[in-house]
Amino acid sequence: MRNTNKAFVSAVLLAATFTSVLLPSAGAAPAKPDAAVVYSEADFSTMATITRAEVMARAKTWVDARVPYSMSAARDGWRTDCSGFVSMAWNLSKPGLSTVTLVGSNVTHRITKDELLPGDILIKGGAGTEGAAGHVRLFGGWLDSARTRYWVYEQTPPIATYNEYTWSATAAEYPPYRYNNIVGGSGRGNADITGDGKGDLFAVYQDKLRYYFGDGSGNLHWGSEGGVGWGGLGEVAMGDVNGDGKGDLIAEAGGKLRYFYGDGSGNLHWASEGGTGWEAVKHLNLEDVNGDNKADIVGVVGDKLRYYYGDGTGNFHFHSEGGIGWGALSKLEAGDVNGDGRADLIAVAGDQLRYFYGDGNGNFHWGSEGGTGWGSLGHIAVTDMNGDGKGDLLTVAGDKLRYYYGDGSGNFHWGHEGGAGWSALTRFAG
């Protein structure tokens, strides 16, 4: 099993669809940006909605290419200055907006520090402040659970780059704004294998691992199958362990925790194994609890809920344990239900579905309970299947896969049902 880092064998598309960043190293401190060209709002129109994962992936292409800064040049039709870079990432009309029009009332709106998510901006300038002499940065995420340090992508002389800043030193000069057409929660869905902002699925069938990719409509399509030894594992969970925007996998094996990193194409590669006592953790879940863009673990030990924080390298450290009654739950899944970028919990208790919202500190608070018939369902997974930023629910009913879309308040509504053969899966990581 330790050598199970083979790429999965490609396979044909599943005939029946179902009805129902590793980050670059920090660059040098940015030079003072030049003034951005001003365009009137009549000169542009925004595009369709875009997911946070798509925004960050688009921005990363310029950072990876080390695109030179220029106010007069263009790449792919967008100006290669700070506001042109953000316009490209948001897929706005070419050649892009300025630091004045980026804060126009029909483009963005002001948000708070607590609301910041990957794909939002921190902007110096705009109408009524420094005008066209401003600068804009694309927020990537928090670097610590206390939210004192963060990282950004930005187009600043001499090139598009990754940089890190402290909130206390920049907050007054760079207030946060959000694009009105952006959707998605944290930008790194716990079940987003490919990093495209659409929920995917890993599943164990007999001794192999299967990968199904989502199309954003609640449908899953066959991706690939491969490897050996997966049937002998205990509980498995998927999430973005290392913060590169691609789904990874952890699994319990003989009391130890194994970590496999994903390459974004449905392949998993062996990374590490360690620790003891993991066989005692039931309902193993992998999700970003504290908002630092690194997946953490939530699970049940005995009758209590445990939270382990992840350090981004596949190691998980004990943080807290508490509550009672968690051992009576038949199912427990973590995901960002309400779209605030913090992990929440969905549980099955008896025949009803329970919702607990997370506060970002490893605590989960009662939200609601309702519905009937949930106790008879098989595997469940919570992830954003349709890209609206709210957690949805996948579950196995009989031999079919069901999709319920979430409304952000802990309620799940019937979407569709279809396919066959899902009851044969022994593990479900979504």
Residue 364 CA to residue 27 CA, distance in Å, equals: 37
Residues of the chain under the 70 pLDDT cut: 1-47, 104-105, 126-133, 145, 184-191, 195, 197
Q: Is residue 2 part of a domain?
A: no
> What six digits make up the tokens of 400?
């079919």
269 in the same domain as 239: yes
pTM beyond 0.75: the answer is no
Q: Is residue 189 part of a domain?
A: no
Residue 259 CA to residue 238 CA, distance in Å, equals: 10
Q: Of 101, 103, 89, which is closest to residue 43 (Cα–Cα)?
A: 101
Could you tell me the CATH number of the domain that includes residue 130?
3.90.1720.10
Q: Are 136 and 121 in contact (CB under 8 A)?
A: yes
Last residue of a domain, one of 183, 214, 248: 183
Domain that holds residue 58: 41-183
Last residue of a domain, one of 156, 183, 210: 183
225 in the same domain as 177: no
Q: Is residue 352 part of a domain?
A: yes
Could you tell me the CATH number of the domain that includes residue 284?
2.115.10.10
- Give the pLDDT confidence score for residue 143 in this predicted structure: 78
378 in the same domain as 413: yes
- Give the pLDDT confidence score for residue 53 in this predicted structure: 74
Please name the amino acid found at residue 393.
Answer: L
266 in the same domain as 206: yes
Q: Is residue 163 part of a domain?
A: yes
- Give the pLDDT confidence score for residue 3 in this predicted structure: 36
220 in the same domain as 113: no
Cis peptide before 175 (omega within 30 of 0): no
- Give the pLDDT confidence score for residue 218 in this predicted structure: 84
Q: Is residue 76 part of a domain?
A: yes
- Give the pLDDT confidence score for residue 199 in this predicted structure: 83
- In 263-343, beta strands by DSSP E: 268-274, 282-287, 296-301, 304-310, 316-322, 331-335
Half-sphere exposure of 376 (CA within 13 A, CB side): 8
Produce one character per residue of 92-110: b if its CB has 16 or more CB atoms within 10 Å, e if not. beebbbbbbbbbbeebbee
209 in the same domain as 175: no
328 in the same domain as 211: yes
167 in the same domain as 297: no
- Domain count within the chain: 2
Q: Is residue 384 part of a domain?
A: yes
- Give the pLDDT confidence score for residue 193 in this predicted structure: 78
149-156 and 78-79 as β-strands: parallel, antiparallel, unpaired? Answer: unpaired
347 in the same domain as 242: yes
138 in the same domain as 275: no
Q: Of 190, 199, 237, which is closest to residue 218 (Cα–Cα)?
A: 199
247 in the same domain as 154: no
CB under 8 Å to 402, separation ≥6 — which residues?
20, 377, 394, 395, 396, 414, 415, 416, 417
Kindly report the backbone phi and psi dihedral angles of residue 329, in degrees, each rounded to the nearest multiple of 5, phi listed first: -75, 140
Q: Is residue 115 part of a domain?
A: yes
264 in the same domain as 296: yes
- Give the pLDDT confidence score for residue 118 in this predicted structure: 86
Q: Is residue 206 part of a domain?
A: yes
> What six digits make up the tokens of 50?
């875009």
